Amino acid sequence: AKLRQRVEEEAFAIDDSLTSTDIDDAISLSRDIHGHEWIRIHIADPARWLEHKSILDVIAHERASSIYLPEIIAPMIPTHAATDAISLFQTRENQAVTFAVRLGCAPSNSPGASEDISIENEGTIAEYGVTVSQLAHVRQCTYAQVDRLLLCPPSGPAVADGDEEFRGNDGQLRIRSLQRLNEIATIRYEYRKAQGALDFNIPRPRIVLTPGTDTSKEKQVELVKSQDNSPARALVQEMMLLAGEGGGLYAQDL
């Protein structure tokens, strides 16, 4: 436990629903004593529960990934563990593996933002690290909710019904953190494009089965297309890519 770095800032776990029980990642933003912004991507840490070469470890290696089908889910590890002990929940402290990255990016217009970072280095990774962590505060949000919050004006956010946790002074701080994370995600996206990255905007359909009616016992099949233009989804995607790059640089140093 002493090896785990305590993360005090609020980490946002963004998912499809507030009732999701399989939550494996969250993102947060903090500032060090020098005024530099650090983006932290937190990934749930199942390894702490799995003894090396145990039955669960062997099965997880064989499956490699959880498989989501319209009617069933074939999890990489048992469902009760994936949706309880290992998931990141708002109602408790959580253990994770944290990828920390500081960018050489343009300064934010937010009050107190550092102004000593060159615009010429915008989007590059200046510092990075990986550590096991203890998350003190996790805030669950939905993609639809974050999409709304990203559009709130900086002065006196107009918060919609259902977003009560984003009202008041604490709520405005949460909104500003999400908006700043979105600014950083946009900076990174533009940087990656300038470096030759390809953007495959492939539709991601989801099959939904609904029970049959009294007149017809056959289940109804509905094809739902994901919201490809969701800023919140783009934000999370960019943060996961950032974690991958930061983790790769960290591994090269080992």
- Tens of pLDDT, residues 184-202: 999 999 999 999 998 877 7
Q: What does the DSSP assignment read for 171-225?
A: HHHHHHHHHHHHHHHHHHHHHHHHTT--------EEEEEE---SS--SPEEEEEE
Average pLDDT over residues 91-98: 92
Q: Which amino acid is located at 81 in the chain?
A: A
Contact predicate 11/39, CB 8 Å? no
pTM of the model: 0.83
- What pLDDT digit, counting tens, does each position of 198-213 carry? 887 777 777 777 776 6
Q: What is the DSSP letter of 69?
A: -
Least confident of 11-15, 87-91, 226-230: 226-230
- What pLDDT digit, counting tens, does each position of 157-173 carry? 556 666 778 888 888 89
Cα–Cα distance, 146 to 154 (Å, whole number): 15
Which DSSP helix (H) or strand (E) runs through 101? strand 94-104
Please give the C-alpha separations between residue 196 and each of 37, 64, 193, 201, 248, in angstroms, as whole numbers.
26, 30, 5, 16, 18
Cα–Cα distance, 20 to 74 (Å, whole number): 16
Specify the 3-state DSSP secondary structure of 156. Answer: coil
Average pLDDT over residues 6-33: 89
